[in-house]
Structure 1
């Protein structure tokens, strides 16, 4: 197995100051775009918190050469792509993924919206309401509140202590000074010298460079932006804090000031080692002492040699805080002189190459954005030693205890928290002797001696050597009366350690539960998938135990979407089933050897027809927002019906977004399109709103659908043909192993023949406007609809 060479890539800087990086994934069918502007919320005027985030939103609302209907969002949605953006402390990212042949037009739209936005006044007023709704949701999010609380410990004046989402009060659009600040921020930062573009696709490096360079060279070179050093993080103003919070627990932060080469790599290596559950390491020692069950470490901020780390300890109480901190500090002191670091570093470099091999397009594009100049092992180990010494010194250690005790508001920019400073204390003596956990083998995860499982029904499809990572899908039955969130939490807790071991070797793992069972998707190096399965399957197939408490899933709409299987058709059967694409003969043999018996996977069974009545399932969720997901199942499963419904979804998704988000200002999180839920296909509509209850959302969606009747009746022939061609391109047979496996697995769940996608493409070529109208009439039969909502349906 040799996956240890990096993905082919090339970097250059153009005369106008733009950086361009391209990378080739030969098996991909799509292209990933990540454009970073080197300015974010910490670069905005202090008088207007949220201005940078607000500008990010405004850029999508029309530019000089492309109005909203022709802009990047509409263009990407029209060809089955996706677009997103995020504003961080010192950069703003714009990402897009769409068919590879659409790269040039998409990039032209992206650059035009960044360089020449309209910044229309009416659009600003509408978008401020969207931002305010997003602010309200983020201000209630548990993770965001903990991050904000940790920032309060830093030295006064550092902007990590500010909550910079932006709301109705901070975005003073009516003031001339605000408009001047907005224009000035855009003019100063959204120019060539502040931009770095990463393109990842199947094209050759030369072709990607030509496309990027031809458009980027048109950008004028702006004035050089002289960056001021951020204010110091240290000394801490409040090292110990207590936050009133719904979930009790202990959270630690570390503020670091260390401007050394290779710091990003040293941090990544350290965070990996901290979370390693292998015997002899820190986490194993903390578990043995019953101080915590997991250790989750992440980087919240890094810029100009400053860093803020966050460490979570699920299962640890505030009363254990002193001993836990003492053990952590003792471990940091001991491993400064640990002789095993060179071996860990070599292992980390190899594992990083494996992860890069298995990355999705946008994940790889983001990774290349974050990449810094490589340093040799000696320099990196020296930086790591300095980092460990600073952490062990404890000057930047922040302790945050969360409980339900009432506390007064702590004044802070953007969001006041119920937070209080606690007095300093003496730490107890460290008792553990944990050091650096040994290196794990890269060639394969340790396998349990086969056979370990009684029976599996499998189907293997070969894959070409240049078709990228292999993919393996599993389905297993599970009994019990737990809710889906409880089952998800229980199974996720069971596999947490193995999942970490898999993911550090580049194996993408996704676990989902549904009525009657669970599904597991693995992607990555073919040689590792049998070993991963050998470790994971016994854990997933064991009888249910007491369910773990579901973790907070963040955005309300995302929580509902994760529970979509509750709206699906019949429960799947047939015991343990598996389907692979891209494994070789050796991997097939190793996989089959795990089972006492192996049978061919039978063809799937179509889901049972739903009851002929509107199903409304209420899912109680915390928070002030409401959210609703509406599934409209496909009336017939034949290819001609599916072609018409796919066309219908293609035509509705753009108008749905513009009407409910742009015109009605109902919410900022929404979705519309063709989806498969378990084995059932149909159209899915989803919305989270701070201004409507669940019934109101439902009525707005139904009203929107009613209003589409006339538009579909009057649809111009040229638009009909254009949409049909775009769909035909999206339905081309997939090339890569991962995409092919996903298609075959969904066909298996839906009980459809492998030739079904080709039949749909042929039906699409023959589709008539009359068939589209029939599909619309079927869609509007609300007796077939199914709703998952955060509230009940009112009698009105």
Structure 2
């Protein structure tokens, strides 16, 4: 628990945590319910999941378009929910000035829901569609197959996702079961409300009081200083049956997992998981990933909480590698055990170093993801005991599971899903592999096996930098690299870049800076922010030494593990922009020293193809469709480009998107049950802005989904044309204040030919109406990407 957290109880018994956080870009709220799928009756598998869906239909005080989901969407916020084994989370983010209204709607839907028969009937096909999607989702099948080995408690082996078969039939009996479940487990004493916002504690308390007055609840009562939030009842510790290492037969990127079931009565082990995650994800020389790469075991590693409650922790260690045959059983676990033995003996200064990195990872999350982590207990608090977690894992007997693309194996029903699996190959005979010497940071000297950097070459007499130089000063040396405007990378190039630069990213972080290879508006960006400018040149030289030849990208893009709509979203920028065998890059550098700027730009120019000139943007693509490789969902992306960088046009497009989303969702998700991915928002992809409609459906083919997208703009014409200036327009989305985001925005403006002028006049309703008419006339010229029938 953070020291800045203020604990309260409402008079009805609900717990409240108020967390003032100065640097958040938005307010975020999460309602935690201490009940999940393991609490549902055996007669109705998936009932807890169905109830989560139904609550978003609204409560008694905020029905229809005023309920939480459309209300948040109209304000360009985000909202989501998760049903887990022993808890359910509902969370959203909005602008701080709208916090109290959002809380009121969240409490209304959770405490006073309306379980109408029509809503239940409408949501069952959505649950069934999600079940179909999960049946092809590798992480879901891995968890299901591992759960078959848990013989106590039996709830872990139950089918909990829900589908039409488990929920359809006796609708009155189902409705009564939903009401009974809600009465028993959604009582205020089992609820905890977490509120994080860039507001003072007094302002947070006032926002909560205002929300309570809107819902008719009584005022909060402060806790005395010695009291704390009560823990829910302890859950029994799951127990594994002894089983052989297995192989799940799935296409795509290889997965190699170790599953740990640990007793955790006071949640002390779970509190150390963020520290384990940052240690395991390190790719610097001498790290676990570095050793795994050298042995051909992995190119990434992660630690994931599958399920947790007071009493136990189910932890999954996951390696990813290129697709290929499974490794001999035990090879990964031997290397991992050796690494864990060293984790037990981390020095205090190194533990503090990785603790700082774990906190940085948390702060990089969106406000909504931060509050979800807080509610789940997956945040760094106090001094987490990594040695205790490592000792518990060394004392346990993990289950090992891999994946490989193969048609062999036997079929097994696992938690309602069909899996093809076989025993893992036997361990290889012969001498054991050499044990690597793992390295932990900080290091006073270059770690063993570190790459020696080439000496800095002298600058030529007259170097003309091809990099932009930032016009703003700052304490950090900052660098942003991205493909030239109007261009992007292929999926294979991006995968190769991430793989090659992963050690550099880790090394920058160990030096006290921040670095990443991330997608920003569909375009890859390489970001580096280094507080100590004197180290910038050495790290740039390391970056250049690791830079891959992207004309021969050797790591294939993984396109089989993702949900279909996410695969299309990853590909979509390539439909709007050009890709090149040898990409041309734009760069902006922020540093206060002239000599350092010259040396950085010179080093980059020796390795990368940099350019300042601005070519014309490539023509937009028309329609493209992928045929499905097997029966499954159909998905469509339908994009109407704005075609203008004018500030007023951009703001008008953003505000129209906030109007479109709730109307689009209501029509296609609630009235027609067209699919379970239904979105219509303002988006930016590959230097293009516009409205993006996204649909995914197992029932309707791509032609029908596209037809609905085109019809929508005519359906909302009357709503738009009847608006007046007094109606109140949706607010603009919150703007990030992170230094790297500000530098990236400056580079974007430089590439576009100069800084955009500030928007002085507000956007009028008339401008919104004019833009809507333009888009309505252009529905036949949209850029479309689809996959399916």
Once the 2 structures are TM-superposed, how far is the Cα of residue 102 of structure 1 from its aligned partner?
0.6
Equivalent residue for 1:768, pick from 758, 766, 769? 766
User: Does 2:666 align with 1:658?
Assistant: yes
For structure 2, the 5+ residue unaligned runs are 221-228
Kept after mapping to 2: 8 A contact 1:58/1:124: yes
Kept after mapping to 1: 8 A contact 2:485/2:687: no
Residues 225 and 462 from structure 1, CA distance in 2 versus in 1: closer, same or farther, beyond 3 angstroms?
A: closer
Alpha-carbon distance in structure 1 between the residues aligned to 2:756 and 2:25: 20
Corresponding residue for residue 440 of structure 2: 438
Kept after mapping to 1: 8 A contact 2:33/2:190: yes
What SS is found at the alignment partner of 1:596?
A: helix
Could you report, residue by residue, the CA deviation over 1:644-663 in whole angstroms, capped at 9, with x for unpaired residues? 54443333222111111111
Once the 2 structures are TM-superposed, how far is the Cα of residue 371 of structure 1 from its aligned partner?
4.0
Kept after mapping to 2: 8 A contact 1:452/1:596: no
Alpha-carbon distance in structure 2 between the residues aligned to 1:749 and 1:244: 47
Corresponding residue for residue 308 of structure 2: 302
Structure 1 residues 55-64 or 529-538, which shifts more? 529-538
Residues 518 and 402 from structure 1, CA distance in 2 versus in 1: closer, same or farther, beyond 3 angstroms?
A: closer
Kept after mapping to 2: 8 A contact 1:408/1:419: yes
Superposition map of 1:367-378 within 5 A: 367-371=373-377
Aligned residue-pair number: 758
Kept after mapping to 2: 8 A contact 1:626/1:690: yes
Residues 684 and 99 from structure 1, CA distance in 2 versus in 1: closer, same or farther, beyond 3 angstroms?
A: same
User: Does 2:415 align with 1:413?
Assistant: yes
Kept after mapping to 2: 8 A contact 1:293/1:316: no
Once the 2 structures are TM-superposed, how far is the Cα of residue 322 of structure 1 from its aligned partner?
3.0
Corresponding residue for residue 133 of structure 1: 129
Kept after mapping to 2: 8 A contact 1:242/1:403: no
User: Does 2:562 align with 1:554?
Assistant: yes
Kept after mapping to 2: 8 A contact 1:647/1:723: no
Corresponding residue for residue 90 of structure 2: 94
Once the 2 structures are TM-superposed, how far is the Cα of residue 104 of structure 1 from its aligned partner?
0.8
Once the 2 structures are TM-superposed, how far is the Cα of residue 328 of structure 1 from its aligned partner?
2.6
Equivalent residue for 1:78, pick from 74, 79, 84? 74
Once the 2 structures are TM-superposed, how far is the Cα of residue 111 of structure 1 from its aligned partner?
0.9
Kept after mapping to 2: 8 A contact 1:124/1:173: no
Could you report, residue by residue, the CA deviation over 1:530-587 in whole angstroms, capped at 9, with x for unpaired residues? 876664466457443243121245111111112222232577999542347xx6736x
Residues 274 and 483 from structure 1, CA distance in 2 versus in 1: closer, same or farther, beyond 3 angstroms?
A: closer
Corresponding residue for residue 480 of structure 2: 473
Corresponding residue for residue 462 of structure 1: 472
User: Does 2:241 align with 1:242?
Assistant: no
Kept after mapping to 2: 8 A contact 1:619/1:790: yes
Could you report, residue by residue, the CA deviation over 1:505-544 in whole angstroms, capped at 9, with x for unpaired residues? 78473434999x8433457968798876664466457443
What SS is found at the alignment partner of 2:165?
A: coil
Equivalent residue for 2:146, pick from 127, 143, 150? 150
Kept after mapping to 1: 8 A contact 2:678/2:695: yes
Residues 279 and 547 from structure 1, CA distance in 2 versus in 1: closer, same or farther, beyond 3 angstroms?
A: closer
Alpha-carbon distance in structure 1 between the residues aligned to 2:734 and 2:234: 51
Superposition map of 1:73-222 within 5 A: 73-155=69-151, 157-172=153-168, 174-212=170-208, 215=211
Superposition map of 1:750-789 within 5 A: 750-751=752-753, 753-755=755-757, 757-758=758-759, 762=761, 764-765=763-764, 767-768=765-766, 772-773=769-770, 775-782=772-779, 784-789=781-786
Corresponding residue for residue 327 of structure 1: 334
Superposition map of 1:551-630 within 5 A: 551=558, 552-568=560-576, 575-579=584-588, 585=592, 590=596, 593-596=599-602, 605=614, 607-608=616-617, 610=619, 615-619=622-626, 622=629, 624-630=632-638
Kept after mapping to 2: 8 A contact 1:357/1:506: no
Once the 2 structures are TM-superposed, how far is the Cα of residue 376 of structure 1 from its aligned partner?
7.4
Once the 2 structures are TM-superposed, how far is the Cα of residue 420 of structure 1 from its aligned partner?
5.0
Residues 255 and 388 from structure 1, CA distance in 2 versus in 1: closer, same or farther, beyond 3 angstroms?
A: closer
Once the 2 structures are TM-superposed, how far is the Cα of residue 642 of structure 1 from its aligned partner?
4.4
Corresponding residue for residue 65 of structure 2: 69
Could you report, residue by residue, the CA deviation over 1:703-724 in whole angstroms, capped at 9, with x for unpaired residues? 22232333333x142xx54343
Corresponding residue for residue 314 of structure 1: 321
Once the 2 structures are TM-superposed, how far is the Cα of residue 259 of structure 1 from its aligned partner?
2.6
Corresponding residue for residue 225 of structure 2: none
Equivalent residue for 2:6, pick from 7, 11, 20? 11
Alpha-carbon distance in structure 2 between the residues aligned to 1:790 and 1:351: 40
Residues 362 and 373 from structure 1, CA distance in 2 versus in 1: closer, same or farther, beyond 3 angstroms?
A: closer
Residues 339 and 550 from structure 1, CA distance in 2 versus in 1: closer, same or farther, beyond 3 angstroms?
A: same
What SS is found at the alignment partner of 1:321?
A: coil
Once the 2 structures are TM-superposed, how far is the Cα of residue 406 of structure 1 from its aligned partner?
3.5
Structure 1 residues 782-791 or 272-281, which shifts more? 272-281
Kept after mapping to 1: 8 A contact 2:32/2:375: yes
Alpha-carbon distance in structure 1 between the residues aligned to 2:175 and 2:269: 38
Kept after mapping to 2: 8 A contact 1:322/1:427: no
Alpha-carbon distance in structure 2 between the residues aligned to 1:779 and 1:476: 32
Residues 103 and 412 from structure 1, CA distance in 2 versus in 1: closer, same or farther, beyond 3 angstroms?
A: same
The CA RMSD measured in Å over matched residues stands at 4.3
Kept after mapping to 1: 8 A contact 2:489/2:574: no
What SS is found at the alignment partner of 1:730?
A: coil
Residues 202 and 129 from structure 1, CA distance in 2 versus in 1: closer, same or farther, beyond 3 angstroms?
A: same
Alpha-carbon distance in structure 1 between the residues aligned to 2:574 and 2:644: 21
Alpha-carbon distance in structure 2 between the residues aligned to 1:506 and 1:402: 37
For structure 1, the 5+ residue unaligned runs are 1-5
What SS is found at the alignment partner of 1:9?
A: coil
Once the 2 structures are TM-superposed, how far is the Cα of residue 408 of structure 1 from its aligned partner?
3.9
Once the 2 structures are TM-superposed, how far is the Cα of residue 591 of structure 1 from its aligned partner?
5.5
Kept after mapping to 2: 8 A contact 1:645/1:772: no
Equivalent residue for 2:497, pick from 480, 491, 498? 491
